[in-house]
Homo-oligomer: A and B are copies of this chain.
């Protein structure tokens, strides 16, 4: 047990770690704090290196007390790929992609689900509920099935449809809403108030972020316990970005990495860019974004409950926030497939589009180590690809033109 306590980043209230917690009484998300001296005494790089290639290799920096409660499908240690061909094409010598498509359920949401559900199981949760833009719902439904926890999921009817299949086959209770994730959130909140379920909404319990932060731990390990210069992250609820920031701060405290943290870039779509607007105004939190719409559905979040934590991570690392158009997102998705064979999700492609723009503006230097975080596999988004192949009959000849 390496958790020392649960802490509110807004009012500094402390909570005991062995009870279920949702938001702080002040309304803020809560964060898990560790006894870093105890972690330092028990966790060693060479031991970590010999453990299986999944996120549980960092178990001392994770909140699960009893290993029997771990609900795992082998998630984590996703590939960090040096995109040499694409880097040459766009003028970046050290362009990397961390590919979160190579994980159970095909998106980074598996990390939050693995740790969040493990901890929910440990706390004795029987039913949990959450709103989702799709991938989180699919991942939590599947991990809950394995844990024997009932999951109630509400997602926008316009969300990509494959996560519906994940929820359905996992046996979750799935509802669609004729609206956005903010509308789904209100329905879930009302149902939780009525039925006293565990609230697994983004940042309304403190453990999902602990799973997401392992992306930051892996990045550091995969770079030989050094840090890249820039990390671009597609930002909806922002938990991944907050998690990476938290991870790297913890590693600095342990002395496992040193120097400046990477400049964190919150990437949004021009059709839903509340964090970008706040950053441009130098604000500490965002305003609700009206009429949100983008092909990168996962980041269609009009107002994130953790917006102030995202902005803090961006400000403190001298990062920035940037919105890219759907047109640029789809162009980047195509480019990454044609040059690197990487079929990424639109949210991941948004980061590549943002990297190109920041390079053109001189904010990124051509020799900097730049990481594009691809949060999911493109195969969950077949509708983003146009495809009209000719139909042949048996015995036909290919009508070939090179």
Binding site for B on A (CB under 8 A): 49-50, 53-54, 71-74, 77-81, 85, 99, 101-106, 127, 142-148, 150, 152, 154, 157, 161-162, 164-171, 173-179, 183, 186-187, 190-191, 194-195, 333-334, 337-343, 377-380, 382, 385-387, 389-398, 400, 402
Residues of B within 8 A of A340 (CB): 73, 145-146
15 new A-B contacts, CB < 8 A, other than A72-B81, A191-B398, are A53-B77, A73-B341, A145-B337, A145-B338, A152-B398, A154-B398, A162-B379, A165-B378, A170-B341, A170-B343, A178-B391, A179-B393, A187-B392, A187-B395, A187-B397
CA distance A165 to B337 in the complex (A): 11
A176 touches B389 (CB 8 A): yes
Contact A387–B164 (Cβ < 8 Å): yes
A154: chain B residues at CB < 8 Å are 392, 398
**Residue of chain B at shortest CB distance from A340:** B146
- Residues in B whose Cβ lies below 8 Å from that of A173: 400
| Complex-state Cα separation, A105 to B380, whole angstroms | 11
Q: Copy number in this complex?
A: 2
Across the interface, do A390 and B169 meet the contact criterion of CB distance under 8 Å? Answer: no
Which residue of chain B lies nearest to A163 when distances are taken between CB atoms in the complex?
B379
By secondary structure, the A interface counts as mixed
Contact among B74, B142, B165, B380 for A99, CB-based, below 8 A: B74
Q: How far is the CB of A341 from chain B (nearest CB, A)?
A: 3
**Interface pairs (9), CB distance under 8 Å:** A71-B341, A73-B341, A74-B81, A105-B343, A142-B342, A168-B389, A175-B392, A177-B394, A187-B394
Closest to A74 in B: B79
**A391 neighbours in B (Cβ, 8 Å):** 157, 175-178
Residues of the B chain whose Cβ atoms lie less than 8 Å from the Cβ of A85? 146, 148
Contact in complex: A164, B342 (CB < 8 Å): no
A9 to B72, CA, bound (A): 42
A402 to B187, CA, bound (A): 17
A74-B81, A165-B382, A168-B386 known; A176+B343 contact, CB < 8 A: no
Q: Are A142 and B341 in contact (CB under 8 A)?
A: yes
Within the complex, which residue of B81, B166, B333 is in contact with A379, where a contact is CB–CB below 8 Å? B166
Chain B residues with CB below 8 A from A50, complex form: 49
CB distance from A164 to the nearest CB of B (A): 5
Q: Which residues of B contact A166 (CB under 8 A)?
A: 343, 378-379
B residues near A104, Cβ cutoff 8 Å: 79, 99, 101-102, 341-342
In the complex, what distance in Å separates the CA atom of A145 from the CA atom of B86? 12
Q: Of the candidates B148, B177, B195, which one forms a contact with A400 in the assembled complex, judged by CB atoms under 8 Å apart?
A: B195
